[in-house]
Structure 1
Amino acid sequence: MITLYQLEGCPYCETVDEELTSLEIPYESVWVDGLHSKRDEVKRVSGQRQVPLLVDEEYGVTMAESENILSYLECTYA
């Protein structure tokens, strides 16, 4: 199961969302608050509050930074 933590209106999040859709990878979206200080769930999962954040339970991967996520998806699922 893949979970994508994202923020509405975030272009980096939208890019990852589009790539997941393009690769036809099923995933769950978790929408987070715009305020960094309110992103406690993101911090609990990854130790930081940045989005997008991808969690791939199948491979035990948790990562932020859209470019890293896109590379990971391409290498792992394309």
Structure 2
Amino acid sequence: MSDDPAITLYRLQACPYCERVVRKLHEYDLDYHSRFVEPMHSERNVVKRISGKRTVPAIVDENTGLTMSESANIVEYLTETYGGAATDGGTDLDDDTEDGGAA
């Protein structure tokens, strides 16, 4: 078994969108590896190769095989996948639909 984190975060120094993802990773106590990329957008070829875009943040999660960019999408993904609150907690708004409509 490897001690390397399964999540890689591609980011820039002092990027507020990247820091939003970092805060979420810390909130869920997830180990991750940061890869700081070129500040010049046109030179972010490593990010383009992994996500198809040159924007950061971008993550690769080897646990699930997912590659994703855009901070809002990443935060939502981390919450749904690792947050626990979004999993069958019994408080879903759709719970009333499971009774088949019986009164």
Q: TM-score surpassing 0.5?
A: yes
| 1:58 aligned partner | 63
2:31 aligned to which of 2, 26, 32: 26
Q: Once the 2 structures are TM-superposed, how far is the Cα of residue 53 of structure 1 from its aligned partner?
A: 0.1
Matched, 1:69 2:74: yes
Structure having greater relative contact order (Cα 8 Å, sep ≥ 6): 1
State TM-score, norm by structure 2.
Answer: 0.74
Q: Once the 2 structures are TM-superposed, how far is the Cα of residue 63 of structure 1 from its aligned partner?
A: 0.6
Which deviations, in whole Å up to 9, do the C-alpha atoms of 1:10-69 show, x marking residues without a partner?
Answer: 100001011101110000000011101111110111111000001101101011111110
> Structure 1 segments of 4 or more deviating over 6 A?
none
Give me the whole-angstrom Cα distance separating, in 2, the residues matched to 1:76 and 1:19: 12
Q: Given residue 73 of structure 2, which amino acid in structure 1 is its aligned partner?
A: N
**Unmatched runs of 5 consecutive residues or more in structure 2:** 1-5, 84-103
Identity %: 51
Aligned residues: 78
Output the aligned Cα RMSD. Answer: 0.7
Give me the whole-angstrom Cα distance separating, in 2, the residues matched to 1:41 and 1:5: 9
State TM-score, norm by structure 1.
Answer: 0.96
* Higher relative strand content: 1
Q: Once the 2 structures are TM-superposed, how far is the Cα of residue 76 of structure 1 from its aligned partner?
A: 0.3
